[in-house]
C-alpha cells in the first residue's frame, strides 16, 4: 500500500465524517434507500471517499431494487479487493478499496449482463465525480 494511504485510526477519524468512518473503517452499512447515490443517474466516476481511487463508472450502475448503489463491475479489477465475509451468520463476499482497504460493501452473483455480478456499495464511501 502506498505510504500516503497508510493512516492511523486518528487520522482516518479526522479525514472522514463519523458515518464514513463507521462504514469504511468499521465495516458498517447504511440503511437501505437512505444513501445519496442509491438512485442517482448522473454520469461520472465513483471514487473512494477515503483515498480517491476510481472504483465504479456510472455506465456500470443499475437499479437493483436493493436500496444501495449497485454496479455490474468495477473500473478495474485491481482497484477493488474481495474477501470472504462470514460475519452476522451469513456467507458473503466483502468488497474493499484495494488502495486503502476501506470497506465498500458486498458483491453478489445475481446481477444483470454477462458479468452476473452485483456490487452492492454504500453511498457514504463513494464520491461521484461528474462528467
Q: Which residues are catalytic?
A: 120
How far lies 53's CA from each of 25, 70, 117, in Å? 16, 18, 21
Q: Report d(CA 76, CA 34) in Å as an integer.
A: 27
- C-alpha to C-alpha distance for 115 and 112, rounded to whole angstroms: 7
User: Distances from the Cα of 16 to the Cαs of 65, 83, 92, in angstroms?
Assistant: 28, 23, 26
The torsion of the CA quartet 129, 27, 122, 86, rounded to 10 degrees, works out to: 130
Beta pairing partners, 83:
94
Amino acid at each position: 500500500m502506498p505510504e500516503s494511504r497508510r493512516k492511523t485510526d486518528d487520522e482516518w477519524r479526522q479525514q472522514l465524517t463519523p458515518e464514513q468512518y463507521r462504514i469504511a473503517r468499521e465495516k458498517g452499512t447504511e440503511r437501505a434507500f437512505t444513501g445519496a447515490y442509491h438512485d442517482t443517474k448522473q454520469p461520472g466516476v465513483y471514487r473512494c471517499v477515503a483515498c480517491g481511487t476510481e472504483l465504479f463508472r456510472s455506465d456500470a450502475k443499475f437499479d437493483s431494487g436493493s436500496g444501495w448503489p449497485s454496479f455490474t463491475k468495477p473500473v478495474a479489477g485491481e482497484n477493488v479487493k474481495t474477501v470472504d465475509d462470514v460475519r452476522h451468520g451469513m456467507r458473503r463476499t466483502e468488497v474493499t478499496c484495494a488502495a486503502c482497504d476501506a470497506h465498500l460493501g458486498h458483491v453478489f452473483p445475481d446481477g444483470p449482463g454477462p458479468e452476473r455480478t452485483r456490487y452492492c456499495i454504500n453511498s457514504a464511501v463513494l464520491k461521484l465525480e461528474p462528467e
